[in-house]
């Protein structure tokens, strides 16, 4: 069986689709599964062994008819038996119809006319479970597995060497500072400083690791408050996943790090925004999503973070 999955979105969306991929292989061990996703999200499949090929396509770009035609050609060439679409837009539904794939499965919506099976998702559902619901179209039912990743051995080795270099053999608190900027931090620097200072006062022997991009001044800005921080710069998701797996606690504003914490079962606090933030996490005491009544990350009170951490 050849199965195609269309999963537009970011890296976190791909992680939340991993349980669906896992059950495809559990029920159809010989299936070949390809994924088409946005270019920014292809890197997610570095920590997955469940996909034969991840094909980049910028769904949000102003694509020409030639671009869409080339995509149809790619999908027709592989002669897929079924396609699972995480997008229910009219245009994408038409695209799937043009491919001639016999079993076209998606969510109920504007694309219904072009689908062979349109499934109704449950309201306010954890997104991984929502994706998993698509499997009913290929006769797979049952509970949604947990999100999990397969970290390459070389990335685990790198993380172990990094922990040794930084003197963190007995565990650490990990702060995800990647892509943070001083001008427009997702969570204000003054709030980060209050949280980390309180943690340092309560746990003076617990190393605090900030992971960041090479050019980011995030850790240096936090150190201005006299905080003793360790810094690492993982260059891909495999290395980041391995560092998260070795930590005791993760605090992050970024959904990618939060989903990796879920996948490796590390206690994590996510500082989240948006109306759908609660749909991004499973129902578990190990993974806590915090949000303000304004749904803005910057309005989450440091005390709220600390109370959650102490309770966890």
Residues of the chain with pLDDT > 90, as a percent, come to 67
CATH number at residue 174: 3.40.50.2000
Name the helix (H) or strand (E) containing 180: none
Residues of the chain with pLDDT > 70, as a percent, come to 95
pLDDT band for 312, please (50, 70, 90 cuts): low
Q: Mean per-residue pLDDT for 21-36?
A: 96
pLDDT at 226: 79
Name the helix (H) or strand (E) containing 2: strand 2-6
Which range of 49-58, 65-74, 183-192, 272-281 scores highest in mean pLDDT? It is 49-58
In which domain, by residue range, is 129 found? 2-138
pLDDT at 301: 94
| Domain-embedded: residue 82 | yes
Question: Does 80 lie in the same domain as 208?
Answer: no
The phi and psi torsions of 164 (rounded to 5 degrees) equal: -65, -45
pLDDT band for 240, please (50, 70, 90 cuts): very high
pLDDT at 39: 93
Q: Is residue 51 predicted with pLDDT exceeding 60?
A: yes
Total of domains in the chain: 2
Q: Which residue has the higher pLDDT, 111 or 311?
A: 111
Question: Does 121 lie in the same domain as 196?
Answer: no
Question: Does 160 lie in the same domain as 307?
Answer: yes
Question: Does 280 lie in the same domain as 187?
Answer: yes
Question: Does 92 lie in the same domain as 187?
Answer: no
For 278-302, how does the pLDDT look when each residue is reduced to its tens digit (9 = 90+)?
788 998 989 999 988 888 889 999 9
| Domain-embedded: residue 19 | yes
- Of 138, 170, 195, the residue that ends a domain is 138
Q: Which residue has the higher pLDDT, 221 or 238?
A: 238
Q: Classify each residue of 193-214 as buried b or exposed e, where b means 16 or more C-beta atoms within 10 Å of its C-beta.
A: bbbbebbbeeeeeebbbbbbee
Task: Look over the chain and give the mean of its residue pLDDT values, rounded to a whole number.
Answer: 90
pTM: 0.90
pLDDT band for 275, please (50, 70, 90 cuts): low
Question: Does 227 lie in the same domain as 115?
Answer: no
In whole angstroms, what is the distance from residue 152 CA to residue 205 CA?
30
Question: Does 114 lie in the same domain as 209?
Answer: no
Greatest CA span in the chain, whole angstroms?
63
Alpha-carbon distances of 233 from 20, 158, 239, rounded to whole Å: 31, 11, 9
| Domain-embedded: residue 145 | no
pLDDT at 48: 94
In whole angstroms, what is the distance from residue 91 CA to residue 65 CA?
12
pLDDT at 86: 92
């Amino acid at each position: 069986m050849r199965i195609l999955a269309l999963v537009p979105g970011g890296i976190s969306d791909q992680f939340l689709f991993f349980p669906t991929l896992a059950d495809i292989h559990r029920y159809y061990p010989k299936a070949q599964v390809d994924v088409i996703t946005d270019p920014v999200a292809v890197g997610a499949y570095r920590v997955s062994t469940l996909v034969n090929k991840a094909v980049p396509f910028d769904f949000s770009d102003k694509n020409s008819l030639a671009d869409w035609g080339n995509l149809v050609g790619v999908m027709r060439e592989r002669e897929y038996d079924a396609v699972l679409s995480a997008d229910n837009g009219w245009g994408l539904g038409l695209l799937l119809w043009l491919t001639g794939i016999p079993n076209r499965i998606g969510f109920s919506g504007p694309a219904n006319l072009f689908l062979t099976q349109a499934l109704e998702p449950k309201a306010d559902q954890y997104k991984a479970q929502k994706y998993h619901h698509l499997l009913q179209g290929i006769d797979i039912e049952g509970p949604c597995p947990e999100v999990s990743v397969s970290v390459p051995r070389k990335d685990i080795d790198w993380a172990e060497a990094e922990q040794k270099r930084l003197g963190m053999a007995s565990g650490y608190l990990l702060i995800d500072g990647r892509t943070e900027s001083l001008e427009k931090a997702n969570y204000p620097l003054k709030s980060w400083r209050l949280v980390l200072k309180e943690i340092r006062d309560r746990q003076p022997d617990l190393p605090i690791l900030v992971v960041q991009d090479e050019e980011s001044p995030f850790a240096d800005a936090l150190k201005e408050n006299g905080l003793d921080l360790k810094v690492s710069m993982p260059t891909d998701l495999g290395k980041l996943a391995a560092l998260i797996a070795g930590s005791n606690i993760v605090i992050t504003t970024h959904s990618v790090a939060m989903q990796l914490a879920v996948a490796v079962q590390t206690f994590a606090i996510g500082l989240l925004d948006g109306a759908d933030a609660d749909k991004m996490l499973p129902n578990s005491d190990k993974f806590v999503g915090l949000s303000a009544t304004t749904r803005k990350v910057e309005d989450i009170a440091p005390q709220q973070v600390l109370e959650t951490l102490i309770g966890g």
